[in-house]
Amino acid sequence: MTIRFEVLSTDGAARRGRLQTPHGIVETPVFMPVGTQATVKGLTPDQLEEAGARIILGNTYHLALRPGDELIAEMGGLHRFMHWNGPILTDSGGFQIYSLAPTRQITDHAAVFRSHIDGTLLELTPERAVAIQENLGADIAMCLDECPPFQAPPDVLREAVRRSLHWAERCRAAHRRPDQALFAIVQGGPDLTLRSHCAAALAAMDFPGYALGGFSVGETPEQMVAVLGPAVALLPTHKPRYLMGVGRPQDLLAAVMRGVDMFDCVLPTRNGRNASAFTNSGSLRLRNACHKRDEAPLESDCPCYTCRNFSRAYLHHLFLAKEMLGPTLLSLHNVAFYCRLMADMRKAITEGRLADFAEVRLARWGGSL
């Protein structure tokens, strides 16, 4: 068994679980910081671990283009290449082809697209997506899927589900690595009938884990939340459930309450680079003049390296002076914030008080469940 997942306790639809992988155990619900190009931007692996990260995500599309998956395999795989010894999940590249690559063309055979780096014409088949991910050697690989916008017309969504199912079968057939789990992705946009069909077909193929795809691609938070509950309920209960690319702290709360176990999102690092800090009282824009003489840390009760040692005044100065340390320290705090939020949710689930916990947080953040 490559991975093992057990649900330790539940609180409503929410689950407190444990995911065992070849590179260690992950407590769920869990947030995975995004390490697109074999690095979580601005942070060393030591800083990542100190921030509380236990599993990270790598992007197949980016890594296959640069430095190349075969080079990474030669270097001993992605874990060794980037010196991250914990678990890694790699996406399949499908989403990036939609969001980054110009002039793409998708047939049942493959996705054909131009590299966003040098314009080279490239072809990604399900078999190649699996081969790349086997070269990268993550603990968890994802099936190649077609990922249209949430609001795409019904026939586009239907065609994407048909093709994603076809590709999932081919991915499963191509997948060889015994020390890697292959997860499937449920598409269907807001159409629950379509999602139900997709989820049932994938469940019949018995993957070790299931992702919800097609979220965070153009819908409003309200539209997402409206579909999320029934969409999660379509997934097998004894397998890990991963909501791809979502999202804001309030989105994570809403999704955990509906039974999601795993998340990834670029927000903590991207916002950190842009001088925006997540806190339990809402966001702070560190470039704002109000922080110029503020001796307080970002959050007084945050145990992260940034909050233990630096004032808002100092962080404000770093961003105004365009110093690299600003993005680093803020990314570190934001990743720590996300990881602490997940730890707090895990505790609340164990203690059967997730709804209360969520209510208090959302009152501060101004969101709704």
Distances (CA, A) of 324 to 42, 313, 338: 8, 16, 22
Q: What minimum distance in Å lies between the beta carbon of 50 and a second copy?
A: 10
For residues 111 and 124, the answer to whether their CB atoms sit within 8 Å is yes
Q: Interface with a second copy includes 37 (CB under 8 A)?
A: yes
Q: Interface with a second copy includes 295 (CB under 8 A)?
A: yes
Query: Distance between CA atoms of 317 and 289, rounded to whole angstroms?
Result: 10
Among candidate residues 11, 91, 139, 251, the one labeled active-site is: 91
Question: Which tokens is 109 given?
Answer: 């055979």
Single residue of 97, 329, 341, 349 touching a second copy by CB under 8 A: 329
Question: Which tokens is 39 given?
Answer: 């690095």
Q: 3-class DSSP state for residue 70?
A: helix
Instruction: Please choose, out of 134-142, 161-169, 319-327, 349-357, the segment that lies near a second copy by the rule CB under 8 A.
Output: 319-327
**DSSP state, 289?**
G
Single residue of 123, 179, 206, 323 touching a second copy by CB under 8 A: 323
Instruction: Give percent helix, percent strand, percent coil of the chain, each to the nearest 5.
Output: 45, 20, 40
Q: Is 91 a catalytic residue?
A: yes
Q: What minimum distance in Å lies between the beta carbon of 38 and a second copy?
A: 7
> Contact letters (x/-) for a second copy, 252-291, by CB under 8 A?
----------------------------------------
Q: What minimum distance in Å lies between the beta carbon of 120 and a second copy?
A: 15
**DSSP state, 96?**
H
Q: Is 11 a catalytic residue?
A: no
Q: Interface with a second copy includes 292 (CB under 8 A)?
A: yes
> Which burial class, exposed, middle or buried, applies to 57 when counting CB atoms under 10 A from its CB (0-12, 13-18, 19+)?
buried
**DSSP state, 125?**
-
Please say which residue, 42 or 259, places its beta carbon nearer to a second copy.
42
Please say which residue, 43 or 142, places its beta carbon nearer to a second copy.
43
Query: Distance between CA atoms of 15 and 195, rounded to whole angstroms?
Result: 21
Q: Interface with a second copy includes 355 (CB under 8 A)?
A: no
Single residue of 95, 215, 242, 310 touching a second copy by CB under 8 A: 310
Query: Distance between CA atoms of 35 and 184, rounded to whole angstroms?
Result: 21
Q: Interface with a second copy includes 179 (CB under 8 A)?
A: no
> Which burial class, exposed, middle or buried, applies to 236 when counting CB atoms under 10 A from its CB (0-12, 13-18, 19+)?
middle
Phi, then psi, of 254 in degrees rounded to 5: -60, -40
Single residue of 6, 309, 355, 369 touching a second copy by CB under 8 A: 309
What's the sign of the alpha-carbon dihedral 200, 204, 209, 214?
negative
Nearest to 264 by CA among 89, 33, 70: 33
Residues numbered 46 to 85 that lie near a second copy (CB under 8 A) are 46, 66-67, 71, 74-76, 81-83
Q: Interface with a second copy includes 296 (CB under 8 A)?
A: no
Query: Distance between CA atoms of 12 and 356, rounded to whole angstroms?
Result: 12
Q: Interface with a second copy includes 220 (CB under 8 A)?
A: no
Please say which residue, 42 or 148, places its beta carbon nearer to a second copy.
42
Please say which residue, 74 or 206, places its beta carbon nearer to a second copy.
74
Single residue of 270, 311, 344, 367 touching a second copy by CB under 8 A: 311
**Residues near a second copy, by CB under 8 A:** 37-39, 41-46, 66-67, 71, 74-76, 81-83, 292-293, 295, 305, 309-311, 313-314, 316-318, 320-321, 323-325, 327-329
- List residues with catalytic annotation: 91, 264
